[in-house]
Amino acid sequence: MIKKIYEISIPSEILVNLEQTSRAQLVLLFTIALAFWSPIFSLLYYLIGAKEISFAVLLAGCAAVFIPITLRGIKSINVAANITGIILFIVITVVAYFTGGQATFVLMWLIAIPSAIVATASRFYGILWIAIGIGELIFFYFYPKYGGIFPQTLPKEMFSLINTCIGIGALCVVSSLALISENQRMVAIKMAFTASEREKRRARELESANKQLLVKEDELKKSQEELIEKLNVVENFNKIMISRELVMIELKEEVNSLLSQLGEKPKYKKV
């Protein structure tokens, strides 16, 4: 199924480059993990009464569906990767806001965004997301100090349960990504090995074809030498025949000259 998603979502312009193909596959892996786990944890948050968090997580899963479409349409890995980062950032912000700001474990997820962006987009965007994450941490630190109050949508005793759910969610998502990434790595190794074997076979075929060409080249050289030798024989023969004809012409002229001196008619016609 994952392979089918790759085939549908990754444009042919990206597939020609192995490094870009790998980055595009990583973006889709994050997307698949987000789309798979979001309804599960959305239901879990809903059951424990955290409706705002449940809605945010479910909305993130729905938004993740559009990432493959964006990748296919825009043909830009950077755009698709940063959309994934934006979705994660919004979910983290909403969950953190409704679970006590810095008191929640969810802010630890901020480290996942730049890590994912560096692996899928570039170091520049990774650094940008690090700055955004630091800005969010600073905001949640100073917000209550300047009179900000986080919504108490749940009893305080539920925060511990929510943090536990967040930890389980992080473990599930990271573990599934690790397993899928390992599978992709093995597939990539197999593809590289197959490509290497194919290149070796082509090299052997080219070497065999070169040997055959060398043999034919030697045969052509021998044929050329034989032809030149025969042409030389013909040329020498022609020279001998021409010389003979010239001698005969001279003899005929001398005979005619002698006959003329004797007062007789020339025996041979003038040539």
CA angle 81, 86, 89 (to 5 degrees): 125
Nearest to 201 by CA among 212, 193, 211: 193
Q: Is the pLDDT of residue 188 over 70?
A: no
Least confident of 95-109, 161-175, 215-229: 161-175
How far is residue 23's CA from residue 76's CA, in Å, rounded to a whole number?
A: 11
Which residue has better confidence, 252 or 73? 73
- pTM, full prediction: 0.58
- What type of residue is 107? L
When computed from its CA atoms, the radius of gyration of the chain, rounded to whole angstroms, is 44
Least confident of 124-133, 224-233, 259-268: 259-268
Q: Is the pLDDT of residue 157 over 70?
A: no
Strand segments, DSSP code E, in the chain are none
Average pLDDT over residues 39-60: 80
Tell me how crowded residue 77 is: count the other CB atoms within 10 A of its CB. 23
Q: What is the pLDDT of residue 45?
A: 76
The answer to whether 33 and 56 are in contact (CB under 8 A) is: no
Task: Give the best-scoring range by mean pLDDT among 115-119, 129-133, 200-204.
Answer: 129-133
> What secondary structure does DSSP assign to 100-135, as a single string?
TGGGSGGGGGGGHHHHHHHHHT-HHHHHHHHHHHHH
